[in-house]
């Protein structure tokens, strides 16, 4: 389905909850949170709500999931890792760099094609074939890039469009390529489209064209703030928080991965 949009703006306000603080009798501490680029805007607002509710602070670091994963393997001092996939958190658990009991799917991403020009009503395949430059995230670093590559292959257009591709290091940079005009079309996260005013059109990409973009979160083994990290993960998976995440353009998610980890 093609949706032509002249302007979309999502204004989300977070109300401080009246429930008691998770750590009401503990001196304020700082949680170091590593977050995949596609989740920047939701994370910023969720962190603000968490800080107001608990009195603690959260320091955010953003980047592609691949780069953050590499930093964590090199013992970067993060407490929680919110990846754009499940593979990297699971790999950290396998290497005993993260707690298996903490693994959750905090969001399920949606991939869309975004063009700055409204144009005529065209199918996904037609839009890709007519594009001059197509921005995707690096499939080796970014899960949304991997999903974009899978989409192009499964649509049987990879050979026709591969010379048109412009790769961003992260999905955030991919969005900027289209926003700045360095690419006329891009395969981006739906959450990025909803987060800012924009002109042009979006074309929905069926989930059947790529693997599900389950975004996994995990507490890291070298965290010096384990209890605070647990409080944040409980906050993240709370039903009211999950409802807010869905308003940013994410699909419904299970509470835990569907495997035998637990």
Query: In which band, very low, low, confident or very high, does the pLDDT at 254 lie, cut at 50, 70 and 90?
Result: low
The Cα–Cα gap between 261 and 257 comes to 8
Residue 102 labeled ligand binder: no
Phi, psi of 261 (to 5 degrees): -65, -35
Where do the domains of the chain lie?
31-108+213-247, 110-209
- Assigned CATH for 110-209: 3.40.190.10
Question: CB count, 10 Å around CB of 255?
Answer: 10
65 carries a ligand binding annotation:
yes
Tell me the pairing of strands 134-137 and 165-168.
Answer: parallel
pLDDT digits 0-9 by tens, 212-246: 999 999 999 999 999 999 999 999 999 999 999 99
Distance CA 193, CA 171 (A): 12
DSSP code of 208? Answer: G
Each residue's pLDDT tens digit, 25-75 = 557 899 999 999 889 999 999 999 999 999 999 999 999 999 999 999 999
Residue corresponding to tokens 């999931």:
65
| pLDDT above 70 (res 7) | no
Q: What is the 3-state secondary structure (H, E, C) of 205-243?
A: CCHHHCCCEEEEEEEECCCCCHHHHHHHHHHHHCHHHHH
Q: Do domains 31-108+213-247 and 110-209 have the same CATH topology?
A: yes
Best CA proximity match to 46, nearest among 12, 88, 9, 78? 12
CATH number of 31-108+213-247: 3.40.190.10
Which tens digit of pLDDT belongs to each residue from 171-202? 989 999 999 999 999 999 998 888 776 678 88
Per-residue confidence band for 119, with pLDDT thresholds at 50, 70 and 90 = low
Task: Report the distance separating Cα 55 and Cα 68, nearest Å.
Answer: 27
Taking the complete model, does pTM exceed 0.85, yes or no?
no
């Amino acid at each position: 389905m093609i949706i032509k949009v002249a302007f979309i703006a999502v204004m989300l306000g977070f109300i401080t909850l009246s429930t008691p603080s998770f750590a009401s009798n503990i001196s304020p501490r700082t949680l170091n949170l590593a977050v995949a680029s596609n989740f920047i805007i939701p994370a910023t607002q969720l962190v603000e709500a968490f800080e107001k509710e608990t009195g603690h602070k959260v320091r955010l670091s953003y980047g592609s999931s691949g780069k953050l994963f590499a930093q964590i393997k090199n013992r970067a001092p993060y407490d929680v890792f919110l990846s754009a996939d499940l593979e990297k958190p699971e790999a950290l658990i396998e290497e005993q760099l993260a707690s298996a009991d903490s693994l959750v799917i905090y969001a399920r991403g949606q991939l869309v094609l975004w063009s700055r020009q409204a144009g005529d009503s065209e199918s996904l395949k037609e839009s890709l074939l007519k594009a001059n430059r197509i921005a995707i995230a690096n499939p080796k670093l970014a899960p949304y890039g991997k999903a974009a590559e899978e989409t192009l292959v499964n649509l049987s257009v990879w050979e026709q469009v591969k010379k048109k591709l412009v790769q961003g290091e992260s999905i955030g940079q991919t969005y900027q390529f289209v926003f700045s005009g360095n690419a006329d079309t891009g395969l981006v996260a739906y959450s990025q489209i909803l987060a800012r005013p924009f002109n042009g059109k979006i074309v929905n990409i069926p989930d059947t064209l790529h693997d599900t973009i389950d975004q996994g979160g995990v507490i890291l083994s070298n965290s010096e703030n384990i209890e605070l990290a647990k409080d944040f993960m409980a906050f993240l998976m709370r039903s009211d928080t999950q409802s807010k995440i869905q308003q940013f353009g994410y699909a419904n998610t299970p509470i835990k991965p569907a495997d035998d980890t637990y």
